[in-house]
Structure 1
Amino acid sequence: MNQIKELQIKCSIEEHDDVELACFNQQCKANRVYCHQCLRNGDHIAHIKDQKNIKELIEFFNKVEQENEDLIQKLSLMLGEIIELFTQLNQGLEQKYKFSKKRLQKLNAKQLNQVLDQVLKYDEITKGLFEDIQKSSDDMIIQLKGNIKDLKLEEANSHQQNKQEQEKLEKFQQLYQKGYKLYYDDNKYEEAIEVIDAALLIDPNHVDSLFIKADSLKMLQDYREAIIWAEKALSINSNHLNSLSSKGDSLRILGKYNEALMILDKALNINSNHDISLARKGACLQSLSKYQQAIICYIKALQINPDYQWAKNKQAECKKQLYLKYK
């Protein structure tokens, strides 16, 4: 009774009740599942003996499922036997026609004569062997393709694959959004990396995820590892702006100012108004004591983002250095 309540499916005819009956008549062209109102309207009345209730329908589905599992097990045993025989054949051929110098030296003249006689017939024997197996294989492939087509298994497999891909995509999106929030909104970089690592198991080539991991590592002061992950992102998209900027900043912090400038210039060639890259370029120039050029970069960054406090502070440092220099 509980199964009947659980299977609550509306009749395909509007304003009718839930389906409660099923028709098992092979020649029937009407809806196979229907409600009592359909029955009162005369549907399936000609073969009422082929009518089953929902409980019997569920039992029938369970019976077919069990029979199908038995069939799969039998097919698996057949496949296992075929694989085992192919293995024996391959191993036997390898053993019979593998002639090392050490093996030949163990033969006397009569045995060597017999071996040579067999080898001279190798082409004839193996050609027939291969042709027989090839024909059997072709026949089986044709048969199996026909079975798959007749049973519409490709549609079922395709539907299942699409469903699995959709589930993977949804799971990935959930992980990415969670990782992005931990990184960008919450500044919880270690937690962000854990979540993004899980996302990358699903899609290891997702550039934005690779960038988040790279920049999180940079924020955790693991600059060399940060560069490695930024480069992974750039190997997929060499013009990924955020990854270029992050890599440039890690190089800057490691004191590799000229390398950093090259990377940051590439980022600015992609987007000349990227305020973060402008400020990072300014910081490189500042570390090289090129204060006036650095100030120009900071000014450009602040024109784009007037609230950029780090750029303001760095600009003030440069002005102070210039004042002390020309005092």
Structure 2
Amino acid sequence: MQFFRCTYLGHENEEIIGFCLNQTCQNATQYCYECLSNTHSDHLNDCIRFAIISKYINQFIQIQREQTKQFKEIQNELTNCFEQIFKKIDQNNKILESMNQKLQNKEFLSFKSQINILKLHYSKEKEKQIQEQITQLNNINSAIKIILRDLIKWYDQIISGNINKTKIEEVNRISQVQNQQRMQEAKRLFIQGQKLVNEGKFKEALIKFDESIKQFNQDYIIYVWKGFALDSLSNFQEAINCYDKAIEINPNHDNAWNNKGWALNCLNKFQEAIYCYDKAIEINPNHDYAWNNKGLALNNLNRYQEAIECLDKAIQIDSQDDYAWNNKGFALRKLNRFQEALECYERANEINPNQDSAWNNKGFALKKMNRFQEAVECYDKAIQINSKNDMAWNNKGSALNNLNRFQEAIESLDQSIQINSKNNFAFENKGFALHQLKEYQKAIECYDLDLSLHVKPVTLKLKADALLELGKKSEAKKLYQTALQKGSNEKDYIKKQLSKL
């Protein structure tokens, strides 16, 4: 930022923000904000700030570009018209010259066939019509000369600094009307986009938002809504770009920061997401969504106690936030505080019975408490709400395994795999069920699919058990050893198995 000395009061290090246009003003040629508000109050309308001047310059440039375009269009039209006139006159002259030649050559019959042309010219009607058109063109030419004279005079006045204030005001008025019209059109398109978002038509909404931005691109709210539509289409990086634009226009918009955090969270950029949530909370300490989302990000970073503190804050602000209760339950479950977690899930289900995630999580907590049949009932509830919840199908299969209902477990796990072929837990649990049914080779195939997605000590141990059942001791021994190297929690069991080999 550049600083000057104010020429009125001689302030040091004051930012100069404009100057006075009033010709009689002897107070200051450039002034700081204090001088503008205090000293020039008698003719404040003549005082122009630099920011406003820049805006006017851009408006003048835009107007003149539009005028240039219009003048060129008129020029092209006139040029085209004159070319057609000259072409027609040339054609007529050639016909008359041809007739004259025929007359001289005594080609009377041929001449007679064109006699009507001569009659038309002899009647003076055509000549009179053309003369009237020439008069009209002369009038147009005079009008263009007047426009040119006024433009030259006006531009000379601008350059010399003597431009008429009335004309400036007129240009400003026209510009303001045009801007107002564009802003109204932008608002109309924006409202249409909002309606489409609420209807779940996100692609169509994006078209409306882009059309609105073309009309007026300085409304931060539209970028927030466009970002939300992109989030809904899983275009998270594009959404972040929109939120950044909104924040650039209005750095104090808490929802823009919160939504940017959510998009970053979806890209697994949890630490960056937390920074955004903190900004939203700094702006609005009662932003319950930001507290909840920060808790979710902390859960993803395995910082469960910190997550609980954030989620408690969200619940304190809004005790009916079922997502906050669900996320708090998850953190408590990870800390092996299953009874407290269960109470959170039940609270979430009480507030919103249609949240499949809470039912699934409640089932998981019950399973950890060895209440397997109740867990299955919760998973069924989650599946009833959302039949595409692959983790609910997987968890149901796992609970059925605990109840020794292995065939039913396989059916549930097949549903999970059909929905999500990369759910490695479903392959592990299905392999376990097949193992219990003594279908060891099929179990090994499932374990291999699991290991192709994610190498886990528990799966290595399970595959080794199946190989041992098939008498493949050498292969089983290698896998048991690998499971130990990978940090298996079943070291005593594996060492016992290795002692048999």
TM-score range, shorter chain: 0.5 to 0.7
**Counterpart of 2:223?**
175
Residues 224-243 of structure 1 mapped to structure 2, 5 A cutoff: 224-243=271-290
**Counterpart of 2:296?**
249
Query: Are 2:121 and 1:74 equivalent residues in the alignment?
Result: no
Is contact 1:278-1:300 (8 Å) kept?
yes
Query: Are 2:176 and 1:159 equivalent residues in the alignment?
Result: yes
Query: Are 2:339 and 1:292 equivalent residues in the alignment?
Result: yes
Which structure 2 segments of 5+ residues have no match?
Answer: 1-70, 78-138, 184-214, 373-401, 403-501
- Aligned mates of 2:144, 2:286 — CA distance in 1: 57
Partner AA of 2:176 in structure 1: H
**Counterpart of 2:369?**
322
Q: Render the CA deviation track for 1:190-247: whole Å, top value 9, x for unaligned.
A: 2211232233333333222221110110111100000111111222112112111111
**TM-superposed deviation, 1:315:** 0.8
Q: Render the CA deviation track for 1:20-45: whole Å, top value 9, x for unaligned.
A: xxxxxxxxxxxxxxxxxxxxxxxxxx
**TM-superposed deviation, 1:62:** 6.2
What SS does the corresponding residue of 2:291 show, helix, strand or coil? helix
What SS does the corresponding residue of 2:368 show, helix, strand or coil? helix
Q: Render the CA deviation track for 1:123-153: whole Å, top value 9, x for unaligned.
A: xxxxxxxxxxxxxxxxxxxxx9xx8699648
Which of residues 302, 310, 325 in structure 2 aligns to 1:278? 325
- Aligned mates of 2:149, 2:350 — CA distance in 1: 74
Is contact 1:168-1:202 (8 Å) kept?
no
TM-score with structure 2 setting the length: 0.36
- Aligned mates of 2:333, 2:144 — CA distance in 1: 76
**Counterpart of 2:245?**
198
Q: Render the CA deviation track for 1:247-273: whole Å, top value 9, x for unaligned.
A: 111112212222222211111111110
- Aligned mates of 2:352, 2:140 — CA distance in 1: 67
**Counterpart of 2:352?**
305
1:286/1:193 CA distance change after superposition, 3 Å: same
Partner AA of 1:159 in structure 2: Q
**TM-superposed deviation, 1:311:** 1.2
What SS does the corresponding residue of 2:227 show, helix, strand or coil? helix
Partner AA of 1:178 in structure 2: K
**Counterpart of 2:81?**
none
- Aligned mates of 1:215, 1:255 — CA distance in 2: 17
Partner AA of 1:296 in structure 2: E
**TM-superposed deviation, 1:66:** 4.5
- Aligned mates of 1:266, 1:255 — CA distance in 2: 19
**TM-superposed deviation, 1:180:** 0.8
- Aligned mates of 1:63, 1:235 — CA distance in 2: 60
Is contact 2:218-2:249 (8 Å) kept?
no
Partner AA of 1:267 in structure 2: A
Partner AA of 1:275 in structure 2: D
**TM-superposed deviation, 1:155:** 6.6
**RMSD over aligned Cα atoms:** 3.9
Q: Render the CA deviation track for 1:258-314: whole Å, top value 9, x for unaligned.
A: 222221111111111011111111111111111111111111111222221211111
Aligned length: 209
What SS does the corresponding residue of 1:323 show, helix, strand or coil? coil
Greater RCO (CA < 8 Å, at least 6 residues apart): 1
What SS does the corresponding residue of 2:234 show, helix, strand or coil? coil
1:299/1:148 CA distance change after superposition, 3 Å: farther
Partner AA of 1:69 in structure 2: Y
Query: Are 2:262 and 1:223 equivalent residues in the alignment?
Result: no
Residues 6-45 of structure 1 mapped to structure 2, 5 A cutoff: none
- Aligned mates of 2:257, 2:300 — CA distance in 1: 20
1:324/1:275 CA distance change after superposition, 3 Å: closer
- Aligned mates of 2:297, 2:141 — CA distance in 1: 67
Is contact 1:148-1:154 (8 Å) kept?
no
Is contact 1:218-1:226 (8 Å) kept?
yes
What SS does the corresponding residue of 1:208 show, helix, strand or coil? helix
**TM-superposed deviation, 1:156:** 4.2
**TM-superposed deviation, 1:163:** 4.6
- Aligned mates of 2:341, 2:258 — CA distance in 1: 26
What SS does the corresponding residue of 2:251 show, helix, strand or coil? coil
